[in-house]
């Protein structure tokens, strides 16, 4: 059975895990022996340095270092230009990270790693999911599935809980309705390095169904670092020091120190930060209390999103059976304190916050490889005339299927279409076709009519967002198709489908003739073309990653 790895491609850290055939996941360390790899890439001439070494250099060579690529996934602008002027898009930077993770995993596992399951925040839209898939491809990985991070976390917890509860052999059937073992409604609060994500899901007899999800891709530990930076810099300037933000190197050093102080405050009531700049030495003391005060607004944004998701799910805290904290930033005491205040209960933090997503991804990866093996076995047995039921793949599949019977995600964004008012062609509005929080895979359609007699073309502009007003939605792709000529008002059915990886497919049917006009490719300005994909794959394959 080929090894399929689970990868948590985080904004600030990545983790890789594999599950053994019995369904126990474990972290695959990187070549430096670390469980997590900083999502930092440093360009050094023709070579690229990835991980801790690059992170350490962020302060000394900030102009050669690229971080937080995940925040820009799905945007078409380059986020870095090499010294020779080569532009790098977010997918390529992520691919360089993935390439290094792949190489490290191969080194540690002693076998080639060609397939992976990669996680993304649940609210990642189609463009960002496709960009993540592309990053995997550029890195030379076949991406079997894109899985939502909270779903992966819940999978890892479900497993952990069942071993704790049942202890024995039977625990493999995980959530089997005995009240323990991962059954019930789970809220996953995931505050990572760059993103916040909150999800309510139902876990029942091995089915993982997302009920509602929301998040903010610009809210994470990075912003808490920013608040600490402002505070430290303000205090340094108040004591007569220069503005540390005026110089790239000093600013990077400030960021480093701010992050360390933040982590210190997770364990200690105060932190002391030393600055020596231009002959000026200063010690700045920050208390946890002060830090909580200056970041209260950030934490409150997570509260608003969390309550919004509960409301969307039409649930109260009493309906939530388990609350999971995921992401390195939930180590800040203010997070469990907030959850405790809101829910009246202690959240769970049984598995290392920064490993839990990768561990869950490894379970999905195992499931994917078992299914692939099973399919192959079936083909073999059918081919030889033997009974399909007795194929050896079944025994193996039972092991994982008890836990990961199915993963049912929902769409995180509403998908709609730009619509022109029949009576007033100057008025355009958004028509939602697939509402947000619809279980995926989803397929829904709506009828639109032609505006003119003998209209030759039909334009489909796919939108993301709920609002009818186009000013408040985003156009994620468009295509114009040739249509048979009919009188004005001829109906055309537009069918949107959202596959399990969150990728959108659009089909159009001529309502007059009943003929399908075919499925078409969305032109998504945020994503790479086939030519760019292969060009970038060649480039990334050639770059030595250290």
Residues facing 117 on adjacent strands: 6, 145
Place of tokens 């689970």: 6
Q: Which of 154, 155, 188, 156 is nearest to 325 (CA)?
A: 188
Using CB under 6 A, pick the residue from 185, 205, 266, 475 that binds ligand AMP.
Answer: 266
CB of 171 to ligand AMP, least distance (A): 27
User: Should residue 119 be labelled a site residue for ligand AMP when binding is judged by CB under 6 A?
Assistant: no
User: Should residue 355 be labelled a site residue for ligand AMP when binding is judged by CB under 6 A?
Assistant: no
Segment contacting ligand AMP by CB under 6 A, of 11-19, 95-103, 118-126, 397-405:
11-19
User: Should residue 121 be labelled a site residue for ligand AMP when binding is judged by CB under 6 A?
Assistant: no
Of the pair 9, 476, the CB lying nearest ligand AMP is at 9
CB of 221 to ligand AMP, least distance (A): 2
Q: Which of 149, 158, 124 is nearest to 405 (CA)?
A: 158
In angstroms, rounded to a whole number, what is the distance separating the alpha carbons of residues 440 and 501? Answer: 9
Q: What is the DSSP letter of 480?
A: E
Using CB under 6 A, pick the residue from 55, 70, 171, 262 that binds ligand AMP.
Answer: 262
Using CB under 6 A, pick the residue from 176, 354, 409, 464 that binds ligand AMP.
Answer: 354
User: Should residue 259 be labelled a site residue for ligand AMP when binding is judged by CB under 6 A?
Assistant: yes
Q: What is the DSSP letter of 439?
A: B
Question: Distances in Å between the alpha carbon of 56 and those of 53, 253, 393?
Answer: 5, 10, 46
Residues 312-341 contacting ligand AMP, CB under 6 A: 327-329, 331-332
Binding pattern for the stretch 475-514 against ligand AMP, x by CB under 6 A and - elsewhere: ----------------------------------------
The residue count for the chain: 546
Of the pair 14, 368, the CB lying nearest ligand AMP is at 14
Segment contacting ligand AMP by CB under 6 A, of 257-265, 446-454, 476-484, 520-528:
257-265
Of the pair 67, 369, the CB lying nearest ligand AMP is at 67
Helix or strand (DSSP H, E) at 104: helix 90-109
Using CB under 6 A, pick the residue from 23, 150, 193, 477 that binds ligand AMP.
Answer: 193
Long-range contacts of 259-266 (CB under 8 A, 24+ apart): 259/221, 259/225, 259/228, 261/228, 261/232, 261/286, 262/221, 262/224, 262/225, 262/228, 262/291, 262/332, 263/331, 265/291, 265/332, 266/331, 266/332, 266/333
Of the pair 125, 259, the CB lying nearest ligand AMP is at 259
Helix or strand (DSSP H, E) at 534: helix 530-542
DSSP string of 452-475, one letter each residue: STT--EEEEEEEESS-SSGGGSEE
CB of 251 to ligand AMP, least distance (A): 17
User: Should residue 217 be labelled a site residue for ligand AMP when binding is judged by CB under 6 A?
Assistant: no
Place of tokens 């292969």: 534
Give the chain's count of helices (H) and strands (E). 12, 26
Q: Which residue is nearest to ligand AMP (CB)?
A: 221
Of the pair 10, 174, the CB lying nearest ligand AMP is at 10
Task: Number of residues interacting with ligand AMP: please give it, by CB under 6 A.
Answer: 18
Burial of 334 (C-beta count, 10 Å sphere; 0-12/13-18/19+): buried
CB-based contact 314:291 (threshold 8 Å): no
User: Should residue 192 be labelled a site residue for ligand AMP when binding is judged by CB under 6 A?
Assistant: yes
CB of 228 to ligand AMP, least distance (A): 10
Alpha helices of 393-514 — where are they, by DSSP H?
393-401
Segment contacting ligand AMP by CB under 6 A, of 10-18, 208-216, 226-234, 498-506:
10-18
Residues 31-60 contacting ligand AMP, CB under 6 A: none
Q: Which of 537, 543, 544 is nearest to 138 (CA)?
A: 537
CB of 259 to ligand AMP, least distance (A): 5
Of the pair 328, 402, the CB lying nearest ligand AMP is at 328
In angstroms, rounded to a whole number, what is the distance separating the alpha carbons of residues 315 and 304? Answer: 15
Alpha helices of 268-355 — where are they, by DSSP H?
288-294, 296-312, 334-343
Q: How large is the angle between the packed helices 356-384 and 149-166, nearest 10 degrees? A: 90
Using CB under 6 A, pick the residue from 31, 56, 202, 263 that binds ligand AMP.
Answer: 263
Of the pair 261, 528, the CB lying nearest ligand AMP is at 261
User: Should residue 216 be labelled a site residue for ligand AMP when binding is judged by CB under 6 A?
Assistant: no
Catalytic residues: 8, 70, 149, 190
Using CB under 6 A, pick the residue from 3, 5, 7, 12 that binds ligand AMP.
Answer: 12
Binding site for ligand AMP (CB under 6 A): 10-13, 192-193, 221-222, 259, 262-263, 266, 327-329, 331-332, 354
């Amino acid at each position: 059975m080929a090894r399929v790895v689970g990868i948590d491609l985080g904004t600030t850290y990545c983790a890789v895990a594999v599950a053994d055939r019995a369904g126990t996941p474990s972290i695959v360390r990187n070549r430096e022996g670390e469980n997590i790899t900083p999502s930092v890439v440093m360009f050094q001439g023709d070579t690229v340095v990835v991980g801790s070494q690059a992170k350490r250099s962020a302060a000394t060579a900030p102009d050669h270092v690229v971080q937080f690529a995940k925040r820009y996934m799905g945007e078409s602008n380059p986020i870095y230009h090499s010294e020779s002027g080569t532009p790098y898009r977010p997918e390529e930077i992520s691919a360089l990270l993935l390439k290094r993770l792949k190489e490290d995993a191969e080194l540690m596992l002693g076998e080639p790693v060609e397939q992976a399951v990669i996680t993304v925040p649940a609210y990642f839209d189609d463009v960002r999911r496709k960009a993540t898939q592309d990053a995997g491809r550029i890195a030379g990985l076949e991406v079997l599935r894109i899985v939502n991070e909270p779903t992966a976390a819940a999978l890892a917890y479900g497993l952990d809980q069942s071993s704790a509860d049942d202890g024995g052999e039977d625990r493999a059937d995980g959530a089997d309705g005995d009240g323990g073992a991962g059954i019930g409604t789970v809220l996953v609060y995931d505050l990572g390095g760059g993103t916040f994500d909150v999800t309510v899901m139902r876990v029942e007899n091995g089915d993982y169904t997302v009920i509602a999800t929301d998040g903010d891709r610009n809210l994470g530990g990075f912003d808490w670092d920013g608040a600490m930076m402002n505070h430290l810099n303000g205090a340094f300037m108040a004591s007569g020091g220069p503005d540390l933000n005026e110089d790239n190197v000093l600013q990077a050093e400030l960021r480093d120190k701010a992050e360390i102080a933040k982590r210190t405050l997770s364990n200690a009531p105060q932190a002391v930060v030393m600055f020596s700049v231009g002959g000026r030495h200063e010690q700045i003391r920050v208390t946890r209390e002060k830090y909580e005060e200056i970041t209260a607004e950030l934490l409150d944004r997570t509260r608003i999103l969390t309550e919004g998701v509960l409301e969307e799910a039409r649930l109260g805290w009493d309906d939530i059976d388990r609350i999971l904290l995921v992401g390195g930033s939930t180590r800040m005491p203010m997070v469990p304190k907030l959850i405790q205040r809101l829910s009246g209960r202690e959240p769970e933090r049984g598995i290392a916050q920064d490993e839990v997503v990768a561990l869950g991804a490894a379970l999905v990866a195992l499931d994917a490889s078992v299914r692939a093996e099973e399919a192959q076995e079936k083909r073999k047995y059918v081919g030889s005339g033997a009974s399909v039921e007795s194929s050896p793949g079944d025994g193996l599949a039972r092991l994982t299927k008890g836990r990961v019977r199915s993963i049912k995600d929902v769409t995180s964004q509403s998908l709609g279409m730009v619509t022109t008012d029949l009576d007033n062609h100057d008025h355009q509005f958004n028509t939602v076709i697939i509402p947000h929080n619809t279980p995926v895979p989803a397929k829904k359609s709506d009828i639109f009519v032609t505006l003119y007699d003998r209209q030759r073309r039909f334009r489909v502009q796919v939108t993301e967002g709920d609002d009818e007003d186009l000013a408040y939605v985003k156009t994620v792709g468009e295509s114009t198709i040739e249509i048979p000529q009919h009188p004005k008002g001829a109906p055309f059915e537009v069918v949107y489908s959202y596959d399990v990886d969150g990728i959108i497919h659009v089909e159009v049917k001529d309502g007059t003739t009943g003929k399908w006009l075919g499925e078409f490719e969305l032109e998504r300005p945020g994503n790479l073309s086939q030519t760019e994909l292969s060009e970038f794959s060649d480039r990334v394959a050639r770059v030595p990653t250290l």
